[in-house]
Structure formats: structure tokens, C-alpha cells
A and B are shown apart, each in its own frame.
Chain A
Amino acid sequence: MKVPEERVSAATFENLAMPLFDQLYNFARWLTQDTAEAEDLVQETYTKALRGFSSFQPGTNFRAWMYRILRNSFLSSRTGLRTMVTIEGEADENLLPAESSTPESILIEQADRETVQQALADLPVPSREILLLCEVEEMSYQEIAETLAIPIGTVMSRLFRARKALRELLREKIKGGRHGV
């Protein structure tokens, strides 16, 4: 959602920010895994964004700006500090593709929505957030890079790593489900 410079003076914060409410809440709820915390996070995001709206650079990406505020607020929260520790130890290794074309890979197609949701919730926050930004919010790599303040190359490698982790989690859950029957 690029905002043309000439329209910025007339565009109100309300008109720009409220259409993003549902997706920001969904993202916040996934990050925090808690309804009350998600509400606090969204509220803090809107309050901060409103106060800082005058510093918003016309012509830049408003959606990425809002997500960046939300994510930074989350990172400074108690839950955020605890859950994002893993991102510091991110290594540029283990980028090899996962084994594919196994019977399990076919079963992934059959994984129901609830299983995928459980697997997503089990992922570390850095993997979960990048998958949500890419798949659910349908952000481009450039937007993700702006939101997470990382280079596009890191977006690509982190995204691949997140998909691989999710695939492995799904395999475990599907196998566990089959054995459990």
C-alpha cells in the first residue's frame, strides 16, 4: 500500500490504519499466542502509530510501517524478549533441501487445517512470523525485508528454513497421528 505523496496530506491516519486492523490482530495473536496480549499489542501499535504518524515518510509503505511498529512493540514485550532469543543464534547453515517425494510428503497435502495451525504455533517465532508475512499477508520479499529490517537475502534463507521446519513438524504430526490410530 504505497501512499502517493500528494495524497498524504489529505489521507487520515484512520483511513489508512483501520483497513489493516483485522490482519494486524491476526498477526499479533499468532505472535503472542494469547488474546489479551494480542489486544494490548494491537492497541499499543495504534497508539504509537498515531503519535508517530507525522514522522511517517510519504511515499513509503504504510503497511510495512505498521507491521514494523507492531513487531518492535512485541520484541520489547516480556513475551517477545523471551521468544525471539532464538533469532540471535540464526546460522546460515542447514539450508539443504529436506528429503522430498517420500510417502509423507504426499500426506502433507492431506494435513488438515488444525494440524497446520498446531505446527505453525509450534514453530519458533522468527519462522512463524516470516511464514505469516509471506503466505498470509502476501507481502513481497521487499516488504518483508522492510518490516523485519533484514536484507532480502536473509528473507530468502529464513523463509526457506521456516518452510523446511514446518514441513518436518507436519511430517512428525502426521506420522504421530497415524501411529496413534
Chain B
Amino acid sequence: MACEQWSDRQGAEEYSTKLSAYVDGELDPTEDSLLGAHLRKCAACAADALEQVRIKRSVQMAGKRYSASPEFRNRIAKATSIASKPRRQIVWHWQILAVPALLLLIISVAVNFYVGRDSTHRQRVYSELADLHVAALASATPVDVVSTDRHTVKPWFQGKIPFSFNLPELQGSEFTLLGGRVTYLAQAPGAHLIFQVRKHEVSVFIFQDRIFGDRGEETVGSSSGPVSVLSFNVENWTQGGLRYFVVGDVAANDIDALSKLLRDAH
């Protein structure tokens, strides 16, 4: 017990919490000056407060202990930066193109309700794939099967996803296969493959086309070439009942080149 003033249990509890709050500068001005005045008169309580301050300072110094590795910091910074770009661009476009966009919106609503709905669905699918791409790159283990050999990566998916696919021969191209993982879209499993081209990673997603519904072709659509979505370039098509998406922040011609290699693998 610090002093006679706080000798009963209730008083001691009140004193304990107040002293902590006093040391943290969290008391209201009246209570702060009252307790301050008491500490100036009472050596025992002053020693108590001093000890709390010492502990506070010790923890302040000792608590700043751990630093993340530069690699981990860069990984998070990169993932956050990529993912933040669309937000910035959307804001810019909204400000500059507010009036034309509004006109376009009115016209598009008037012309065809279904087109708008399909476009929203497509954007949602692309956004989800962009998230999967960014999340995988930010992960400590972006791929579960790590291999540049297509004859290792393809068999790894056997029994994990309900379909099979072909991977292209990459020798002589700029692309390198880094590996793959199982992923999910609309509660359906699919293959997520990661390729590298000039230090950029490109994701290839393969799902059964039927998970996009009867109107899959209308709602998700097949692009005739890469399209820019949320600052990523995306190309998608169907082939043999499977829907392929190639997603990356590389140039459109790189996305197109990888898409051609994948198409020709069949």
C-alpha cells in the first residue's frame, strides 16, 4: 500500500487505476492536479509513480524490437501499390469525366438493362481475379507446386481440380513457368498458374466454363485481345469447355503472347 490515504481496498483500487492513468496523462485536469498535489506531499506514492514511469520508459525502449525483412516489406508495398492504383484512377476519371460518364450512364440504362448487368458481372469477375493475382503475389508461398517444368506442374493438379489442361512449351519464349496452386472462383475450384516475363509475374486462371452459368459467354465474354481492367491487362477465352483468364500488369502484347502460347498448347 502506498500511503494511509489509500489504505482501504476500494481506495487502493481507485488509487491503482488513477496512478496508471496519471502516468499516462489520461486523467482529467481536475483529477490530474489533485493527484499531482498528493504526489508532491507523499514520498511513498511518489516512489510508486516514479516506478511506473520507469517501467513505462523501459517498455517503450524494449518494445521497439522487431523489424520486417526488406523483402517482406517490398512484397507488401508492391501488393498494396498495385491494388491501390485502380482506386486512384477511378477517382481521377470520375472527376474529369463526370458529365460525359453521367450521360453515358443514362444512355446505357435506356438502351439495354442486360448489357449493364452483364458488364457488372464481368467487372466483378475481373476484380475477383485481380484480387487473387495480388494476394498470391503477396503471399510467402505464391505457388504450392514450385517448378518451371510443365510436366511437373500439370500432373500436380490431378485429383485436385475436376478437369485437365495443357501447358505450352516455353522454350524460346520470354516466359518462364514459376508454378501453380489451386484457387477458387464462385465456389468452384480452378488452376492458378504463375508465369514470369522480365521480372513481372502473370497469372493464368483456368476454370470450367459452366461455373459462369448458361450465359457465361454473354456475361464474362471472350476478349478478342487484352483489355485493361483495374490497371491490369486481362485476356480471356473459352477452349474445350474451359475458360482461361490471363492477368498481369505487363504490356498488352505480353498478355497476348502468353495467351497465344496457351491456345496453341491444345
Alpha-carbon separation in the docked complex, A108 to B57 (Å) = 11
* B84 and A141 contacting across the interface, CB-CB below 8 Å: no
| Contact residues in A for B12 (Cβ distance below 8 Å) | 95-97
Which residues in window 33-57 of A have CB below 8 A to B?
36, 38-40, 42-43, 46-47, 50-51, 53
B264 adjacent to chain A (CB < 8 Å):
no
Is A62 interfacial (CB-CB < 8 Å)?
Answer: no
CB proximity to B under 8 Å, residues A128-178? 131-132, 134-136, 140-141, 156-157, 159-160, 163, 166-167, 170
Q: Is residue A87 contacting chain B, with contact meaning CB distance below 8 A?
A: no
Shortest CB distance A33–B (Å): 10
- Digitize B81-121: 1 where CB-to-A-CB distance is under 8 Å, 0 elsewhere: 10110011001000000000000000000000000000000
CB distance from B124 to the nearest CB of A (A): 13
The number of residues on chain B lying at the interface, defined by a beta carbon within 8 Å of a beta carbon of chain A, is: 51
* Cross-chain contact of A42 among B52, B76, B83 (Cβ < 8 A): B76
Contact of B80 among A18, A36, A40, A101 (CB under 8 A): A18
Distance between Cα atoms of A95 and B9 in the complex (Å): 9
Knowing A13-B84, A135-B59, A141-B21, say if A43 contacts B139 (CB, 8 Å). Answer: yes
A88 within 8 A of B: no
Pair B81/A159 contact, Cβ less than 8 Å: no
Residues of B within 8 A of A22 (CB): 67-68
Please report the C-alpha to C-alpha distance between residue A162 and residue B139 in the assembled complex, in whole angstroms.
35
CB-CB < 8 A to A9: which residues of B?
Answer: 91
CA distance A105 to B52 in the complex (A): 10
The complex places the Cα of A12 from the Cα of B92 at a distance, in Å, of: 12
9 A-B pairs with least C-beta separation: A136-B63, A14-B84, A116-B62, A29-B66, A135-B59, A25-B68, A101-B47, A160-B20, A12-B84
Given A10-B91, A29-B66; 15 other pairs, CB 8 A cutoff: A43-B138, A43-B140, A51-B131, A95-B13, A96-B16, A97-B2, A97-B6, A97-B48, A101-B48, A109-B54, A113-B62, A156-B26, A159-B20, A163-B55, A167-B55
Chain A residues in the interface with B (C-beta under 8 A): 9-10, 12-15, 17-18, 21-22, 25-26, 29-30, 36, 38-40, 42-43, 46-47, 50-51, 53, 95-97, 100-101, 105, 108-109, 111, 113, 116-117, 120, 131-132, 134-136, 140-141, 156-157, 159-160, 163, 166-167, 170
Can you offer 14 A-B residue contacts whose CB atoms are under 8 A? Answer: A21-B77, A42-B76, A43-B76, A43-B139, A46-B80, A46-B138, A50-B83, A97-B6, A105-B47, A132-B59, A140-B26, A141-B21, A141-B26, A160-B17
